[in-house]
Structure 1
Amino acid sequence: MFLQPKKFKYKKVRKGKLLRLEFKSNKLKFGNIGLKAEEAGIIHARHIEASRQAISRKIKRKGKIWIRIFPDIPISSKPTESRMGKGKGALSHWGSRVRGGTVLFELCGVKDSNVAIEALKTGGTKLPIKTQIFY
């Protein structure tokens, strides 16, 4: 099941601007190895879920995975080949704004560090932005 909020106040929100760097959530809090975003972008809930599944398969469900981002931004889209006007499109999916330097995933409890690095590398390929593995 994909991540999404249980309740939300507004059905549609404006896009806003993506700031380039993050300095608040750029350190490990829970695990001992992490996956960090190198650039800013919007990550959909499907990307987060695909990445989580890939990481948990690689570590054979032995360790603990923390997801440090949550898709709380509703993203709307209009159908293709529809004419201009007639308002904003319907809710399409949920996404998360990510700045460069934000920790996305953390791992702990994996005995072999090479397996953890390989798992995070595989999970990073599922995301639409550049990522980096760090300790």
Structure 2
Amino acid sequence: MNTTKLFNFPSRAISLVQFCGMKNFKAPPTYDIEIPENAKLKFIDKIPTLPTNIKPPKMQKRLRYIRGPEDVHNFLMYKQYGIMALGGGRLKHGHFEMIRMTLHRKIDLSRMFAVWRVDAPWQPVTKRGQGTRLGGGKGPIDHYVTPVKAGRIVVELAGKCEFKEVEEFLTDIANKLPFKAMAVSQEMLTKMKDQEKWEEENNQNSFTMKYLIQNNMGGCQRWLSPNDFKYFCKYV
């Protein structure tokens, strides 16, 4: 229904016509994905299950498990969203529970689901009691951890949703992890790989870190570690 209002001013009369118009909204995206029956994250055991006749083995630190890039689990299986580690570190059982409980509160299980992309805690960490005398062999096992390398996908979220819906709480989870991490989507991963490839191909500075280390510029090989010779100071 059209309504006309007249406003009389000293110089001229202005006519304002108000009418209802049709608005065109974009069609919602179609998601070609099936929601599994168990959309929740599986509970992670605090201690690995071992046969009854095997004593829990102790282990050294083995920092090589958290150094360098991840070569296997560095992609999204469902091509949607997840949390990617930006550096190396160790996940404890409390971090697994924090991720699981936060996602169960935030996601809509009728149209979203989440899957783990890391193993349950398996690496033992030993610790001696306070005030105990040194010596006498390695101390008892205190807890178990899961080592994570840079580029590893920690948890993956998929379903009938957009990145804006899940970015806030995925970023909140990533900020609580014991290493640097970020919420990513498939588009972000693709752009990051393309950007890294473009920078490597179009770099006009010939004095790269690889060139400096291999040619011992300034005698840098005297104070570099073996990992710097392997990764050229990229993963520290």
So what's the TM-score if we normalise by structure 1? 0.86
With 103-112 and 2-11 compared, the bigger mean Cα shift is at: 2-11
The higher relative CO (CA closer than 8 Å, separation ≥ 6) is in: 1
Query: Considering only aligned residues, what root-mean-square deviation do their CA atoms show, in Å?
Result: 2.0
For residues 65-120 of structure 1, the C-alpha deviation after alignment (integer angstroms, 9 at most, x for no partner) is 11111221112211122221122222211111100000000001252432311221
Residue 175 of structure 2 aligns with an amino acid whose one-letter code is T
Q: Which stretches in structure 1 are left out of the alignment for 5+ residues?
A: none
Mapped to 2, the partners of 1:26 and 1:113 lie a distance apart of 19
Q: Which stretches in structure 2 are left out of the alignment for 5+ residues?
A: 1-42, 186-236
Counterpart position of 2:48:
5
The answer (yes or no) to whether the contact 1:20–1:100 under 8 Å persists in 2 is: yes
Q: How many residues align?
A: 135
The correspondence of residues 1-135 of structure 1 with structure 2, limited to 5 A, is 2-3=44-45, 4-7=47-50, 10-18=56-64, 19-30=67-78, 32-62=80-110, 63-70=112-119, 71-135=121-185
Q: Which aligned runs of 4 or more in structure 1 are off by greater than 6 angstroms?
A: none
**Residue 60 of structure 1: how far off its partner (Å):** 4.5
Mapped to 2, the partners of 1:111 and 1:66 lie a distance apart of 15
Highest CA radius of gyration, 1 or 2? 2
Q: SS at 1:74's partner residue?
A: strand
Judged with a 3 Å threshold, the aligned counterparts in structure 2 of structure 1 residues 45 and 110 are, in CA distance, closer, same or farther, namely farther
Mapped to 1, the partners of 2:113 and 2:49 lie a distance apart of 24
The answer (yes or no) to whether the contact 1:31–1:66 under 8 Å persists in 2 is: no
Q: Percent same amino acid at aligned positions? A: 26
Q: Between Structure 1 and Structure 2, which shows a larger proportion of strand residues?
A: 1
The answer (yes or no) to whether the contact 2:175–2:182 under 8 Å persists in 1 is: no
Judged with a 3 Å threshold, the aligned counterparts in structure 2 of structure 1 residues 83 and 55 are, in CA distance, closer, same or farther, namely same
Residue 115 of structure 2 aligns with an amino acid whose one-letter code is W
